[in-house]
Chain A
Amino acid sequence: MSLRTPKLRLGLLLLLTPMLLWLLLLIILPHVNMAIISLSERVSAGEYAFSLSNYAEFFTESLYWNTFLRTATMSILVTFLTLIIAFPVSYYIAKMLRGRTKGLVFALCLIPFWVSELVRTYGWMILLRETGVVSSSLQWLGLTDGPIEFLYNDAAIIVGLVYTSMLFMVVPLTTTLDSLDDSYIEAGYDLGGNGFTVMREVVIPHAMPGIVSGCIVVFMLTLGNYLTPALLGGKDSLWFTEQIFTQFITRFNWEQGSAFGILLLFLSSFIVWLGLKLSRQSFTRVMS
């Protein structure tokens, strides 16, 4: 009851102020501005008029539409691969390890993230380029005659993105798996389950909120990534954020860039919503 007294509510409001200001000034206002810009079109030098042509451009020029589809499918693939790789790691950390080793292995997952994304991506470039570490080692071992180029293709982009996203999957998964009482797993075995059924009936249902929240974070980060696809993908690195960057910076076409930005926001939100519906999870539960 006391929470309802005016004084305390004022306190709550004051505590929320920095957060609200941050949301309003840095997220909502720029987006409103972007939406307004996206609805205008350059008529002649310095003259602009209301128009929906920037949105029409996205749907009529198959190039932009295809770039978005490509980006979205590759992001989903990256999310899936990250999950496949991160789940055993998280399970090992949460259920197999105890005490200091547990903290140590968890820290090992964290260490690559102490350097910036740019440095990590350049690391991959040094490994994968034609005169790089992997290619030269293969030649030294006599497995191939000439140098091999591993960079500048889709596989390189996916490897880089999965590596960049690992942490954001491992952390929520480890947390949810940690909260699963070991006795439930033992009970599963006692009731005649084998490794597979226990995993399917006990562990995965319990970890579902962690899986979904990890997937949402990884998907959004991958979709919005700019550096990794641009550097590792080379001539075929078609990524939607790159299109937005090009429109803003090299074409000076802020109107088109803003329209792409707004479309990216809505289309990616739609994909996340679809994912939640398909996995029968609610957003509030996943994020708590």
Chain B
Amino acid sequence: MKKTMTKTALCALAASLTFAALPAQAETLRILTWGGYAPDNVVEMFEQQTGIDVEVTKSNNEGMISKLRATRGGGFDLVQPSQDRIVSAQADFNIYKPIDLSKIDASQMIGSMLDATKKSTTFEGAVYGVPHVWGTSGLVVNRDKAGSVKDYTDLCNADVAGKVSYRLKRPTLIGFAFAMGEDPFAAYGDVAKYTQIMDKVEKKLISCKANVKTYWEGGDALINLVRSGEVNAAMAWDAAGWKLNNENKAITFVSPKSGALGWIDTFAIPRKADNEAAAYQWINFVMQPKIAAMITEAAGNFTASQGADAYVNDTLKAQYQESFPPADVDNIKWYPPVPAGLEEIEGKVLDRVKAAG
């Protein structure tokens, strides 16, 4: 009796081990990205064409860095952090490996954007990122009810009191600094000057707190607040504004007077990526103009793919042109790479704003 028990146990063990080993045989590509950057239809096409299984995990800048830091750069084959957040994370935590530019079809990418991203993600002579999706943050405004809001600081006006929302994160600090006539990007290298600017912003945000309904956390939460009419003016992404514009013509994205803040989300390879080859395959696949247009449909933002605009629907193009007259495009403030240490200063400012009564 005892012997059969042992045998059964051994069989069960062997069986479970076989099952555990099985999935490793199929080739997989694990992507850590933002919502909408790897839509189901694109994933399906890629799987059919290459036979590689794609696992998509959605996150944000901080989440991506934290996850990779915890595993020392393992667990994923491709990540999509913003270009300004790569160098400091690489210097501190060594979580990425350099991009092999020879494996990327550069002709599919808009040259100026590729060059800018290469430059801002260069650390110790190696390039760590290539561009994928770009967009801006600025103001989402219900023009019927909050027409007076033209710049970030207008969110503190009395006529929109209680109907305002923004995030308690670094883009808000940067946006308010620009609207108050400062240039935080120029002060990136000067800690004393930067601290002084942030102190000024802190005072403004604390005095503005009474105006705020709530600090939004995720894009969906913000869209709900504006859609229900609980919030009439918010600092948010352009894509959120255009999404709301589809339902209510009064609401749209407005490029602030002091300039929208421009970001580029990149492709980067984690240091311990298992399937680098598939990652490069994916990059070249999604940068094809037609595929890139599909991603634009899903994410609401344009990509760095050369010629993809031709395939994007006219509504989104019209919305883009309405929000960005040519002068406003030139006024976009692109994020330079964040030097290490600045985020600590910002962190304390954000904590104090949150705690202020």
Count of chain B residues with a beta carbon within 8 Å of a chain A beta carbon: 31
Q: How far is the CB of A149 from chain B (nearest CB, A)?
A: 7
- A45 to B351: give the CA distance in the assembly, Å: 23
Complex contact B347–A253 (CB within 8 A) = yes
- The chain A residue sitting closest to B209, CB to CB, is A235
Which of B66, B162, B230 is A252 in contact with, Cβ under 8 Å?
A: B66
**Does residue A66 face the partner (Cβ distance < 8 Å to B)?**
yes
- The chain A residue sitting closest to B92, CB to CB, is A45
CB contacts (< 8 Å) of A63 on chain B: these are 351-352, 355
- Given known A131-B230, A252-B65, A253-B347, contact A152–B213 (CB-CB < 8 A): yes
Count of chain A residues with a beta carbon within 8 Å of a chain B beta carbon: 28
Q: How far is the CB of B335 from chain A (nearest CB, A)?
A: 17
- Given known A45-B340, A243-B351, A250-B62, contact A149–B228 (CB-CB < 8 A): no
User: Which of chain A's residues 20-70 have a Cβ closer than 8 Å to chain B?
Assistant: 42, 45-46, 61, 63-64, 66-67
CB contacts (< 8 Å) of B66 on chain A: these are 248-249, 252
Which of B91, B217, B343 is A251 in contact with, Cβ under 8 Å?
A: B343
- The chain A residue sitting closest to B170, CB to CB, is A250
13 sample A-B contacts, Cβ–Cβ < 8 Å, listed by A number: A46-B91, A63-B355, A67-B355, A130-B228, A131-B230, A149-B213, A235-B209, A235-B354, A250-B169, A252-B65, A252-B69, A252-B93, A254-B69
CB contacts (< 8 Å) of A246 on chain B: these are 347, 351
Complex contact A252–B354 (CB within 8 A) = no
Complex contact B91–A152 (CB within 8 A) = no
Q: Could you list which residues of chain B lie within 8 angstroms of chain A, going by C-beta atoms?
A: 62-63, 65-66, 69, 89, 91-94, 162, 169, 209, 212-215, 217, 228-230, 340, 343-344, 347-348, 351-352, 354-355, 357
- A280 to B229: give the CA distance in the assembly, Å: 54
Q: How far is the CB of A82 from chain B (nearest CB, A)?
A: 26
**Does residue A234 face the partner (Cβ distance < 8 Å to B)?**
yes
**Does residue A129 face the partner (Cβ distance < 8 Å to B)?**
yes
Nearest 3 A/B pairs, CB to CB: A234-B214, A45-B91, A250-B62
CB contacts (< 8 Å) of A208 on chain B: these are none
- A187 to B344: give the CA distance in the assembly, Å: 66
- A238 to B215: give the CA distance in the assembly, Å: 12
8 extra interface residue pairs, beta carbon distance < 8 Å, beyond A149-B230, A249-B62: A61-B348, A63-B355, A67-B355, A130-B228, A234-B213, A234-B215, A235-B354, A252-B343
- A234 to B217: give the CA distance in the assembly, Å: 10
- A49 to B214: give the CA distance in the assembly, Å: 39
- The chain A residue sitting closest to B228, CB to CB, is A131
- The chain A residue sitting closest to B169, CB to CB, is A250
User: Which of chain A's residues 208-233 have a Cβ closer than 8 Å to chain B?
Assistant: 230
Complex contact B347–A251 (CB within 8 A) = yes
